[in-house]
Amino acid sequence: MRQVSAGGVAKAGPPVTQELPAPRGHGRRIKYSGRPMMEGATPALYADRMGNITKTALVTGGNKGIGLAVVRQLAAQGYTTWLGSRDEARGQAAASALAEAGDVRFVALDVTDDASVAAAAAQIGAQTSSLDLLVNNAGIYLAAGDGQPSAVQFDTLRATYDVNVFGPLRVTRAFLPLLRATSNARIVMVGSGLGSLALQSDPSNGFSRWPAFAYSSSKTALNALTVGLANELRGEGIAVTVVNPGFVATDLNGNTGTLTTDEGARMVMRAVQVPLSGSGSFVNDDGTFPW
């Protein structure tokens, strides 16, 4: 455990045994043997009624669809989970609706806005000294992005990439200090089968005839980002994977998908379990997915 303040991670002090206040909703205190917290800092430890330490997670785009289902499943597994949403009203409502599932906390987070991402990192950093899991789920599909590469407007491409590619990179950079402050941290990117170059380049595969150039190319770029981050962070014990959740019925596709959000979320949860040796992989329900 490292010392922390509201501003982030500080240098570690000598090991001590100290008594920490119990987490919200628990009427007991827990003893922690480790390095001390700086004065005024919030403990990064969360304990259930038996005193078991739980993990922490952030899910972007967590107010609906796959993201909401992932938050629900993480909470059910005992994670203290921050539900990130750019829409404050919807995010607050979603977090409140999941109160019975576990410790779910709302954080305002627009993945396209540097100030919003920085504020979210500061807010979460004031409540915990580390983050075990980051799920970059927020994504966008614009109908104007359908078409051939020679026809799709640059404004549409920029808007799509800002959410689907630069958003995950922006959020990951902001939360790396918290991810680096724990052991075996995980970063999961929610990708798409449409991002597979192997399938796009196969004339016999329907993806090669799918006209969604802006979306599919952004998900291909997300795959490249995943590999790049995996190569960068593997030596630090942080695994980075991208998951194809399948054709899930969400707002993104007009709820025409063949899978439920819970089924899609279960695939994301499987990606969380990928070992460090599998970092940089593209996974789905059947195992690995072709790049």
**Sequence ranges of the domains in the chain:** 1-44, 54-288
More confident residue, 164 or 42: 164
Which residue is catalytic, options 46, 141, 161, 215?
215
Tell me, what's the pLDDT at 53? Answer: 65
Which of 93-97, 159-163, 224-228, 247-251 is predicted with the least confidence, judged by mean pLDDT?
247-251
Q: What is the gyration radius of the CA atoms in the chain, in angstroms?
A: 19
pLDDT at 280 over 80: yes
Which residue is catalytic, options 46, 79, 161, 219?
219
pLDDT at 49 over 70: no
Query: Rounded to an integer, what distance in angstroms lies between the CA atom of residue 116 and that of residue 36?
Result: 30
Tell me, what's the pLDDT at 252? Answer: 65
Average the pLDDT over 152-159 and give the result: 97
**pLDDT, averaged across the chain:** 82
Backbone region of residue 102 per phi and psi (left: phi > 0; alpha: psi in -120 to 50; beta: other values): left
Tell me, what's the pLDDT at 197? Answer: 86
Query: Rounded to an integer, what distance in angstroms lies between the CA atom of residue 258 and that of residue 249?
Result: 6
Tell me, what's the pLDDT at 249? Answer: 57
pLDDT at 22 over 50: no
Candidates 3.40.50.1980, 3.60.130.10, 3.30.70.260, 3.40.50.720; correct CATH number of 54-288? Answer: 3.40.50.720
pLDDT band at 129 (very low <50, low <70, confident <90, very high): very high
Tell me, what's the pLDDT at 266? Answer: 87
Tell me, what's the pLDDT at 253? Answer: 58
Half-sphere exposure of 51 (CA within 13 A, CB side): 7
Does 219 qualify as catalytic in the annotation?
yes
Does 64 qualify as catalytic in the annotation?
no
Nearest to 127 by CA among 171, 91, 80, 94: 80
Beta-strand relationship, 104-108 and 80-85 = parallel
Tell me, what's the pLDDT at 74? Answer: 97
- Above pLDDT 70, what percent of the chain? 78
pLDDT at 159 over 90: yes
Average the pLDDT over 52-72 and give the result: 91
Query: Rounded to an integer, what distance in angstroms lies between the CA atom of residue 73 and that of residue 103?
Result: 11
Query: Rounded to an integer, what distance in angstroms lies between the CA atom of residue 165 and that of residue 144?
Result: 18
Average the pLDDT over 147-162 and give the result: 96
* Contact between 11 and 129 (Cβ < 8 Å): no
